[in-house]
Amino acid sequence: MTTTPMASSMYPFRFTQRATPPTVDPELFKKGQDHLKTALRRYHWLCAAIQQKYTILDNIPVEFGPGVFFPRQGLDFTPYTQYSFEPVRGVKLHPREDGTIHPGDLELYRDWFEGNWRCREAGILYCVAEFREFWNMVINYHSVAKTTGKEDWDKLFEKLKRRACIRDREDVLKKRRTTLAAPTTRDISLREQRFLDARAESSRNDTSSGVPNTDDEDDEIFNLNLDLKVDPEMEAMRKESARILKICSNPECLAVVMKNETGEATPESPKLVACSRCKFTYYCDVSLMITLLTLLPLNL
């Protein structure tokens, strides 16, 4: 494999790949190829799910044991012709008579995906392999309910259908190559290089406004509707800590002065005295402050 250095004033050692990935480390190369196959298979699973190109298999026999009393279901992807994969068997799919999934089950599945850090970090292409949770939500999406139970997935599915993104990528590339407007490898490399140079140039410029956020802006950012569940206890602790005005520096006391809506100390708060030397440390006892000052070196 050969690589060609890309000219850049900021990143002189940046290289752009021009050929097949290196096979110097066969183990890493094989792992990369396996990851590519897995991602492609899951992508087509997602395509089949959105296009509803699958059939549900029922009464699949299983090895009965603890907690396993009934046959399982599966998914056959024969209607999907853009990729060939084996049917999925042994999944517990439980649509009701009208094709919907019980709302309580959908809530459990949604909480599972939001609570699993792998699903949060890797995104929906990781979630498609969680067969019971994901495909029950897909079945409910194609029912009269018209929802997966997860609002961001509903928006994603609709966006993919509107923009006609669910197409065979190879066919799209073949059609583009037959036109004169099809970009060559060199055009793509130059376009990527221009983008990287522009980004490097912008990183050298100070884009900060210099105006810090106010408390109101912080509250607004914190309370944005990000479809996240805020712990009520943590929220109460955050609001309570924002009202702290002063704290006694005596580790055996740690008295707290709270502020009211106008930013002044509340009447029931203890009286703290500011340190006469540093001006920002507070004490509940003047004698304790004098004792500490006599013990400190004079050059502080």
Identify which has the larger pLDDT, 259 or 294.
259
Residue 218, pLDDT above cutoff 60: no
Q: What is the mean pLDDT of residues 48-52?
A: 90
Q: Is the distance from CB of 74 to CB of 119 less than 8 angstroms?
A: no
Which pLDDT value is given to residue 294?
63
Predicted confidence band at 211 (pLDDT cuts at 50, 70, 90)? low
Look at residues 293, 278, 14, 46 and name the one whose alpha carbon lies nearest to residue 169: 46
**Cα(53)–Cα(55) distance, integer angstroms:** 7
Classify each residue of 189-202 as buried b or exposed e, where b means 16 or more C-beta atoms within 10 Å of its C-beta: beeeeeebbeeeee
Measured at the CA of 62, the angle between CA 57 and CA 67, to 5 degrees, comes to 115
Q: Is the distance from CB of 136 to CB of 109 less than 8 angstroms?
A: yes
Q: What is the mean pLDDT of residues 254-273?
A: 79
Task: List the structure tokens of 170.
Answer: 């190879």
- Rg of the chain in Å (alpha carbons): 31
